[in-house]
Every structure is written in C-alpha cells, then in structure tokens.
Chains A and B, each alone.
Chain A
C-alpha cells in the first residue's frame, strides 16, 4: 500500500513538471532510475520507448503504465497512470473555467489571435519530424551524397496514394492505419 502511494506521488510529480507532451516525461523517468534504482533501470526504459511507440496511446501514459507494472504489478500500473494524469486533469479543469469566464474578453481573444497560427507552426514542425523519419533517409544521404538516396521513393509513393485516398473517401483514420499496417507487411519499406 505504501509503495502504491509512493508510486502515485512520484508520477504525480512527473505529470506536474513534464511540459510539452509525452517525450518530455523521458528525462524525468531517467531521473527515476537514479533516485529509485531498485524500481527500474535505464535499459528497461529504452526498451519501453520502442514498445510505447509501437502501441497505441500517449507515450507518457504508456511509459508510466509500464514502469508501474514492472515495480508493483497491474495495480502499480494503474497507480502510476493515475498519478501521471492527475495534475493534468486538475490544471486543465481550472484553465477551462478561466477560459469560459474570459472567452469574450478582448485580451483573451487578442492573445489567441497570436497563439492559433503559432500552434499550427508547432504542429507543422512536429509533422516535419515525422515526415523526416518516415519518408526521408538522411543518414544514407549523408553517406552517399546522392539526392536519389535522400527520399524513400517507395514510401513517398505509398504516402501519396494514402493522401489521395484520404481526401477522396474521407474515411476514419483507423482504416488507413490498418491498411498501412498490412501494406507494410507486403511491401517492405
């Protein structure tokens, strides 16, 4: 019981200080391997990053569940996840109240006039990282210096076909993800 409370507390702290999404929890988890070496070690964490990226759900939540599970079984997994999301829920509910109250104030509207395009810029930057990973081969390009090696042609063609399919048929994203998983096994990218 004590251990579960301690888990909730440690992950509450991580949830409170990790600003900017799932990967931001990583340095804090590394820190755990130092402060609580009996809980989890660094190589376990690295394995887990790979698993987290291959399973659905937010990276931070997946990592918390995994660490909790390793330390104290299924209950531990639930405890760490509750700890991690608690600060978010509390803070967002407060922020939402505030926004609701001041939604029509010119100050808030002017602030969001600046934030909305910036937010899109951040999303584009994140998209750029994903695109680099999925459609380009920068290490190979550095090695050979040939532009035909910079782009993964097969992947780009498949990406274009997917894009056309999305724009034309407007189906649920899950369908395209499922198709991509199957195609990935037929054509090796």
Chain B
C-alpha cells in the first residue's frame, strides 16, 4: 500500500510539471525515475517509449503504466497512471469552469514563450543523454539518422518506423550471426 501511494504521488508530481506533451516528459522521467530513484534504467525508458509509440494511447500514460507495472504489478500500473492524470483533471476543470480564455492572458502567453524555449532545451539535453545509451555502433547511427530524417520531413506514422526498425534489427543481427 505504501509503495502504491508513493507511485501515485511521484507520478502526480510529474503530471503537474509535464508541459508540452509526451516528449516533454522524457527529461522529467530521467531526472525523477532514473537519476533520483533508480526505478528504471535509461535503456528501459527508451524501450517503453518505443513501445508507447506503437501501442494505442497517450505516450506519457503508456510510460507511466509501464513503470508502475514494473514496480508493483497491475495495482502499481493503475496507481502510476491515476497519479499522472490527477493534476490534468484538477487543472483543466478549474480552467474550463473559471476562465474560458486562459491561454490568451498576456502573462500566461509570455510565460509560455519562455517555457517553450526551456522545453526545447530540456528535450535536447535528454536526447544527448539518451544518445549515448542507444546509438552504440555504425548501424545504429545509420538507423537513427534515417528515422530522424524521414520522420522530420514526412508524415509517416511512428508505428511504421518502430516496426520497420525492429524488423531491421532482427535481420541485421541474424545476418551478422550467419557471417560469424
């Protein structure tokens, strides 16, 4: 029970500060789950992200469920997810009842022009850290750059890239094994 409450609380805090959707959660997960608590390895977070992108649902929720499930099974998954969505529910309810045009208040607009820059830099910083654990050889580098270019400049769904690169990984390893 104590573990579940802790999961709920940690994810509630993360939900309250995760501005800008799923990718913005990455640096916060890294700080809170990997560095501070050691609940998961960087590689695991990468895998969860990859799976979260090709399974249905919101990526941040999928990642919360994964980590909660790893810590405390199904109740953990539910506790983590419930924690993550709690701040959203409370904040959105307050805003939608009190202020119809919250996003157009000058202070909020200006704060967000700053926050957007910060989120961009946080994501760059997270990417640099992840890079070291994900791109280990030339094949990895080629895959990474190819996916980056295709994803940045076309509208192909992430699902296609994850499935394609999974197949590529399988066949490359098989081919390497055969060569030995």
Contacts and interface: CB of A to CB of B under 8 A. Distances in A.
Contacts, number: 371
B117 A180 contact: yes
A5 interface: no
How many chain B residues sit at the interface, stated as a range, is 35 or more
Interface in A143-189: 155, 158-159, 162-163, 166-167, 172-174, 176-177, 179-185, 188-189
B117 A114 contact: no
Question: Which secondary structure characterizes the binding site on chain A?
Answer: helix
Given A61-B61, A117-B165, A91 B173 contact: no
B44 to A, nearest CB: 10
B166 A115 contact: yes
B61 A88 contact: yes
Contacts of B121: 159, 162-163, 166, 176
B5 interface: no
B146 A57 contact: no
B124 A127 contact: yes
Contacts of A185: 107, 110-111, 114
Question: Which secondary structure characterizes the binding site on chain B?
Answer: helix
Contact of B18 (A57, A109, A158, A180): A57
Nearest to B114: A184
Given A54-B108, A58-B18, A179 B120 contact: no
Contacts of A55: 19, 88, 91-92, 95, 102
Nearest to B28: A173
Interface residues of A, number: 93
Contact of B88 (A56, A163, A188): A56
B88 A62 contact: yes
Given A58-B22, A134-B116, A184-B114, A119 B46 contact: yes
A66 B81 CA distance: 18
A132 to B, nearest CB: 9
Contact of B165 (A87, A93, A114, A166): A114
Nearest to B103: A50
A107 to B, nearest CB: 7
Nearest to B16: A56
A116 B20 CA distance: 23
Given A54-B108, A120-B46, A183-B114, A114 B167 contact: yes
B49 A123 contact: yes
B140 A117 contact: yes
Contacts of A17: 56
A34 interface: no
13 contacts: A18-B57, A48-B96, A51-B96, A57-B88, A81-B85, A121-B161, A122-B158, A126-B123, A127-B123, A127-B124, A173-B31, A177-B17, A181-B112
Given A22-B59, A78-B89, 12 more contacts: A20-B59, A20-B157, A25-B58, A57-B91, A60-B57, A88-B55, A92-B77, A119-B47, A122-B158, A134-B120, A158-B117, A177-B118
5 closest cross-chain pairs (CB), A and B: A114-B169, A184-B114, A121-B147, A88-B57, A57-B88
